[in-house]
Amino acid sequence: MEPRVAGALNSGLDVLEALSSAAHPVGVSELARLVDADKGNVHRLLAVLESRGYVHRHEQSKSYSLAAGVVQLAGALLRNMDIVSQARPLMRELVNLTGESVHLAHKTPTGGVYIARERLARRVTVETEIGAPVVVHATSTGKALYCRDTGEVLDQLLDACGFEAFTDNTITCRDDLVVEMKQTAQRGYAVDLEELSIGVRCVASPVVDISGRIRASIGLSGPASRLDDERLDRCAALVCDASNKLSAQLGGLWDFPSPPKPPGENA
């Protein structure tokens, strides 16, 4: 690929990533500032992306947002990810055993992304948005995904993402996070004790692939009023069991400690 073409491709991807993280449609000037690019070049890129169905132009505000073409790409990706189809039965079983919302996240170079969820109908649960990025330092999912990575990897990750304090319980110190990661690896699961959202507790366990690397994590979220310390421990055992089974289906060896399952399986 010629350098000029590669540069245009990178710029186009920068535009798509900026739009994906925006909470509202973005104008050309603001978008050029976000991606640190020439306004005219950004306008030309947006025209191409619009013609291909990847962005939508809002006529009244002259601003842009992602369009259905991106959803189609994501849908094709998810359909071809065997891990989702393999995880579904295990996730549904977890939902039936616990009554709480269950999610699957995939590890990425910049943290992770939620790729599947299951929940009971007609019950108040904690929602996880598919496609949302994982906040590594403030979620059990993030800790599970990165619990075996070196301090250098975490430093690079957190340099880009930062240590935003979402609640008074959020870990905002690099050394404290490293300790938390080590504890996660030692017990086979991570917890989020109202660190991202007040009133929400979570537990997640890593999924290991055939190469021995952590590829994903299975997590469970619920109101803190239901997930007290005792019940969180019981749910952790079930989550670890699901991660162990999914790892085996992927050809991986889940070599973490296995907490004892609760009597009668249900949490």
CATH (domain of 221): 3.30.450.40
If asked whether residues 158 and 219 sit together in one domain, one would say yes
If asked whether residues 64 and 141 sit together in one domain, one would say no
If asked whether residues 122 and 229 sit together in one domain, one would say yes
Report yes or no on 254 lying in a domain.
no
Which structural domain range is residue 91 located in?
81-249
CB 112 within 8 A of CB 105: yes
If asked whether residues 98 and 147 sit together in one domain, one would say yes
Report yes or no on 205 lying in a domain.
yes
Domain count, the chain: 2
Long-range contacts of 115-124 (CB under 8 A, 24+ apart): 115/78, 115/81, 115/83, 115/84, 115/216, 116/78, 116/84, 116/87, 116/88, 116/91, 117/91, 118/88, 118/91, 118/92, 118/94, 119/95, 120/95, 120/96, 123/99, 124/223
CATH (domain of 56): 1.10.10.10
Tens digits of pLDDT across the chain (267 residues): 444 556 788 888 999 989 988 888 999 999 999 999 999 999 999 999 999 999 999 998 989 999 888 877 776 665 556 789 899 999 999 999 999 999 999 998 888 999 999 988 666 556 678 888 899 999 999 999 999 988 788 888 877 777 899 999 999 988 899 999 999 999 999 999 999 999 999 999 999 998 889 999 999 999 999 999 999 999 999 999 999 999 999 889 999 987 777 666 676
If asked whether residues 130 and 38 sit together in one domain, one would say no
Report yes or no on 264 lying in a domain.
no
If asked whether residues 187 and 221 sit together in one domain, one would say yes
If asked whether residues 92 and 51 sit together in one domain, one would say no
Q: Measure Cα distances from 193 to 169, 180, 203 in Å.
A: 7, 12, 9
If asked whether residues 113 and 205 sit together in one domain, one would say yes
